[in-house]
Amino acid sequence: MALKLPGSINECVYFTRRTFGEGNNGKIMAWVYKMDCPKCRKAKMGKPKDETGHKKIRAKIYVCPECAYTESKEVHEPKLTVEVKYACPFCGNVGEATTPYKRKSFEGVPSYVFECGKCKKKIGITKKMKAGKKKGAAEEDDDGDDD
């Protein structure tokens, strides 16, 4: 099943497009569509807006602009899914994936985690593509002397 790309960022709760991996040979485009209001089904749920019309980024609720129905963040976000188009940095496979809209710890960093369809390696979408901790990497010399 081919994923449908969003026509506008306004259709999304979350959107990112990044390169990552060794030599930036991996690519990710990920998005989370806004969900229809479960009460009226006429509008998309979103964060509430302040008096100037800007959405409140750290709001703990989602609001329907049509009927004013509200849902807490804890209830609303588990219903959402992250849709991903990617180029795997490990095997070069270009594919699509979906994953729950819930960050998990991946290499010590909170990430949306999905698996490459070909090589089955896990790939994490971190905030600002923060580097994770590598397993078995040599520890840096931290004995205090300048060598």
| 100-118 pLDDT per residue, tens | 999 999 888 899 999 998 9
Per the model's pLDDT, the better-predicted residue between 133 and 112 turns out to be 112
Structural domain includes residue 26: yes
Shared-domain flag, residues 119 and 91: yes
Structural domain includes residue 141: no
DSSP 96: E
Question: Containing domain of residue 57, as a range?
Answer: 36-77
Structural domain includes residue 48: yes
Number of domains making up the chain: 2
Shared-domain flag, residues 93 and 61: no
Q: Tell the burial category of 139 from Cβ atoms under 10 Å away from its Cβ (0-12, 13-18, 19+).
A: exposed
CB-based burial, 98-116: b 16+ in 10 Å, e otherwise: ebebebeebeebebbbbeb
Q: What is the mean pLDDT of residues 58-83?
A: 92
Structural domain includes residue 136: no
Structural domain includes residue 142: no
Query: How far are the Cα atoms of 9, 109, 137, 144 from residue 140, in angstroms, in the given order?
Result: 41, 20, 9, 11
pLDDT tens for each residue of 18-70: 888 777 888 999 999 999 999 998 899 989 888 887 888 888 999 998 898 99
